[in-house]
Structure 1
Amino acid sequence: MKHSQKLLLNTFALCIKIFIKALVLLISTRLVLNELGASDYGLYNLIAGVISLLSFLSGSLMISTQRFLSYSMGENNQDKLVSVFNVSLLIHIVIAFVLGIVFISLQPLFFNGFIDIGDAPIEVAKSVYDIMIISAIVTMSTIPYSAVINAHEDMVFFAISEVLVIIVQLFAAIVIMFINSNLLVTYTWLMMLSIVVGFLSKFIWCKLKYKEVKISIRLAFDKYKIKEMLGFIGWNTLGSSAVLLRNQGVAIVLNYFWGTIANAAYGIANQINSLVLTFSSTLTTVFTPSIIQNKGAGNDERMIFLSIFSSKLSFLLSSVMAIPVLWNLHSILKIWLGDSLPEHTEI
């Protein structure tokens, strides 16, 4: 298969994933909002936001790991690939362990007046928080395997694994329609199950298909490679932390002044925003490995062409989604959520 055809196939596969994700999101959000109510749904989004605020490193780690893998592929250096994978795995395990300790240590601060949990019992809020700590650790452990799949431009399987996760999330929304107690805790456990399903599918696929996915303690403790990767992660972290502090900082401020109902509105608004930006991020996912591989192979002309072309295409596709949504936002929200629409969502 020609490389241009592979890019087209990857883009198509990820667009199908976007369509399925959007459909499931529309259905599950309404179901969950109806069953949990605006207050509990807002609490779920608030705690999820706090966890993501602390685990902002995951995005930086993903980009950095994929960058080093793709560059090594461009150099056609198999030994370096194995080394990069093992070093990244070690870094992720250490960071997951540290984050787990940080999450547990900060729990008394969050539930001692720092955030408004509305009418929810404190035990329920703490249980949701604890489950999300486990989810964050599993998510962190998945990153090296996701990076390997992306670096190999195996987006068809990546899309399939993400669809599996989406199906489990829809299952979670349906299940809580048939139970009468502990809805929020049950829903949080089921959402964690979707993360575990995603991890297992990617772990098994990588172990079966890619030669560099093999554990080597000796290669994992390559001091030069650890320093090089952590240096690259540092710059990515600076940008990622700014975005997350902005997004989740707003969530905490909204909670402080207006409570969990405002968090429900903000959570729904962020879901729509994510869908609009998904087209842009999808093209970034498709083109980034090729851009970095061409740099590794010394083909700067091809690298620059792909960078400019993907940027233009990302802007165009985001606009195609964003402009109609902005123009018809009121009608979309009323049809989608009906009477369950939290106050101020449109704003």
Structure 2
Amino acid sequence: MAYQCNKSIYQRERLQVIVLGKIVTNSHENSKRIAKNTGILYLRMFFMMAISLFTSRVILQTLGVNDFGIYNVVGGVVSMFSILSNSLSSSISRFLTFELGKKNYDRLKTIFCTAINVQILMAIVILVIAEVAGVWFLNYKMNIPPERLDAANWTLQCSLFTFVISVISVPYNASIVSHERMSAFAWISIIEASLKLGIVYLLWLSPYDKLKAYATLMFCVSLLVFLTYRTYCKRHFEECHYHILLDKPLMKEMTSFAGWGFLGSSCMVMNTQAIDILINIFFGVALNAARGISKQVESAVTLFVTNFMTALNPQITKSYATSDWDYMHNLVCWGAKFSYFLMLFFAIPICFETSTILHLWLGIVPDYTISFVRLTLAASMTTILGNTMVTAIQATGHIKKYQIVVSIWGATCFPLTWIAFKMGFSPVSAYFIYFIVYFALIFIRIYLVKNFIHMTVSRYFCDVLIPVLFVSCLAIILPTLLCSTVEQGMFRFIFMCVLSMISTIGSIYLVGLKKKEKQMILMFIKNKISVRK
């Protein structure tokens, strides 16, 4: 009897060891996959960034400040109609990734076909609305020079059809990300960037209206990229073979999920594209050009974070699908903290040397561009801290209360900005308002998400907010001293880049990392050195 009891205990303990071993192995494999995918996406990013920096300068000089501003603000009108599409995109990605985590491949086929149907229907609805409301608003409400109104209308049409293509391509893009095929994602993006480089050359050769030619060529690129995504997915993923399928319960579930996501998407559009339009109405197209440039700088810097999060997000959703809470909590906190550190690494030298960078990059620097760039980066860093929480709450599917509260609070940016402009405040006031609203939103998100993913508020404070606060304060000390003692110029610019890199990395290592994280980094470096030897 005692023997059987001891044998039973031994078997149970052995089973626990085996299960624990599998969990550790799976966690290790997932971490390796995240690291590999992040590396691939960074190679993609460096290539795209180099092309983007070159093309932005040439396009600004070719189009001129006014036409460049027109293209940005007209694109903003189109983006206002993308709020439904954005919410559906998040819904599709969540459903695909969740079923992959469950390994329910038959369900994947149904989700993909339903997603295509929903996106086609949505594209038609948005196109009809935009053709009526968008054309009216462009011609009667926006501040466009009369002689460029024809070109602006042409740009609007090209932007609308470019948008329709991007809507229909969402399920294909989501499939690649959900399957974590980041190499394919990277290669297709590199093809897209190369095509945009070709646009610069064709635009320079074009004898036609430059703004019309640019809008038309951008539409052609989006069409080619969509066909590339579609071809790849059909060849590599069994579920990506579209056929007419009407699953009403699933469609209802997806649209319900997207409906609540609509609130969040509409709030973000109101705080970006709608404020672009406010700036156009109050200050004209020249400031739209400045805001467009600041967005390009922000986009280039946040690409580092976006690539990291693109590799990380599927693992957050899959860990929720398998109820691996500890791993999910680690990903949420670790992802938020290191996203911020990545942003800080580039934001510090850019903010201190904005003037030098913009003059080297563009030659022509529209008014307010320097202030816009600095404030855009500062505002973006507040939103980055909440990105992993957004992914986590979407993974749970319980987004109703979250979206209502977050959207109502976030939506205050637009009316506050309108009031500020009416009262005669400068355009930079929009950025201060955005920063204050979204800084407060960090704490609101923590409170709303904690119960759904079983994570304490104290853990997020200790693992994310306190480390990033200390790192930020410590990292800017040396760059501030340099900026106050050395005159602006190429020497200070080079020295600032080196000093800020050393200061940021040192601050992250000293006060931003836990003991275990430091040990992992040191072990990684030692292993790399020993392999080379």
Distance change in 2, residues 1:162/1:73 (3 Å): same
The residue correspondences of 1:271-310 to structure 2 (distance < 5 A) are 271-310=296-335
Tell me, in whole angstroms, the C-alpha distance in 1 between the residues paired with 2:250 and 2:316.
22
SS in 2 for 1:212: helix
TM-aligned CA deviation for residue 56 of structure 1? 2.5
Deviates more, 1:232-241 or 1:199-208: 232-241
Note if contact 2:301-2:343 (Cα within 8 Å) is conserved in structure 1.
yes
Deviates more, 1:154-163 or 1:289-298: 289-298
Tell me, in whole angstroms, the C-alpha distance in 2 between the residues paired with 1:120 and 1:85.
46
The residue correspondences of 1:160-171 to structure 2 (distance < 5 A) are 160-171=187-198
1:246 is aligned to 271
The code of the aligned residue for 1:148 comes to S
1:346 is aligned to 370
Runs of 4+ in 1 over 3 A off after TM superposition: none
Note if contact 2:74-2:156 (Cα within 8 Å) is conserved in structure 1.
yes
Does residue 73 (structure 1) correspond to residue 97 (structure 2)? The answer is no
Deviations 1:221-253 (A, max 9, x none): 212111111121123221222111111122111
SS in 2 for 1:346: helix
2:90 is aligned to 63
Query: How big is the alpha-carbon RMSD for the aligned residues of Structure 1 and Structure 2?
Result: 1.5
Tell me, in whole angstroms, the C-alpha distance in 1 between the residues paired with 2:302 and 2:147.
33
The code of the aligned residue for 2:258 comes to I
The residue correspondences of 1:43-122 to structure 2 (distance < 5 A) are 43-118=70-145, 120-122=147-149
| One of 348, 356, 359 as aligned partner of 1:323 | 348
Tell me, in whole angstroms, the C-alpha distance in 1 between the residues paired with 2:182 and 2:261.
23
The residue correspondences of 1:25-36 to structure 2 (distance < 5 A) are 25-36=52-63
The code of the aligned residue for 1:182 comes to D
Identity of aligned residues (%): 30
2:413 is aligned to none
Deviates more, 1:66-75 or 1:229-238: 229-238
Distance change in 2, residues 1:184/1:115 (3 Å): same
TM-aligned CA deviation for residue 19 of structure 1? 1.2
| One of 313, 332, 336 as aligned partner of 2:338 | 313
Tell me, in whole angstroms, the C-alpha distance in 1 between the residues paired with 2:177 and 2:298.
24
Distance change in 2, residues 1:212/1:108 (3 Å): closer
Tell me, in whole angstroms, the C-alpha distance in 1 between the residues paired with 2:310 and 2:177.
7
Does residue 23 (structure 1) correspond to residue 50 (structure 2)? The answer is yes
TM-aligned CA deviation for residue 119 of structure 1? 5.0
Note if contact 1:168-1:191 (Cα within 8 Å) is conserved in structure 2.
no
Deviates more, 1:104-113 or 1:64-73: 104-113
Note if contact 1:40-1:120 (Cα within 8 Å) is conserved in structure 2.
no
Give the TM-score taking structure 2 as reference length.
Answer: 0.63
Tell me, in whole angstroms, the C-alpha distance in 1 between the residues paired with 2:316 and 2:146.
50
TM-aligned CA deviation for residue 163 of structure 1? 1.3
1:196 is aligned to 223
Structure of greater Rg: 2
TM-aligned CA deviation for residue 101 of structure 1? 0.4
Tell me, in whole angstroms, the C-alpha distance in 1 between the residues paired with 2:336 and 2:97.
19
The code of the aligned residue for 1:298 comes to S
TM-aligned CA deviation for residue 216 of structure 1? 3.3
TM-aligned CA deviation for residue 160 of structure 1? 0.9
Aligned length: 344
**Structure 2, unaligned runs of 5 or more:** 1-27, 372-533
TM-aligned CA deviation for residue 114 of structure 1? 0.7
Deviates more, 1:52-61 or 1:329-338: 52-61
Give the TM-score taking structure 1 as reference length.
Answer: 0.95
2:284 is aligned to 259
Distance change in 2, residues 1:153/1:133 (3 Å): same
Tell me, in whole angstroms, the C-alpha distance in 2 between the residues paired with 1:314 and 1:111.
37
Note if contact 1:284-1:310 (Cα within 8 Å) is conserved in structure 2.
yes
SS in 1 for 2:241: coil
SS in 2 for 1:115: coil
Tell me, in whole angstroms, the C-alpha distance in 1 between the residues paired with 2:138 and 2:242.
40
The code of the aligned residue for 2:81 comes to L
Tell me, in whole angstroms, the C-alpha distance in 2 between the residues paired with 1:57 and 1:21.
28
Note if contact 1:164-1:197 (Cα within 8 Å) is conserved in structure 2.
no
With a CA cutoff of 8 Å and minimum separation of 6, indicate the structure with the bigger relative contact order: 1
1:335 is aligned to 360
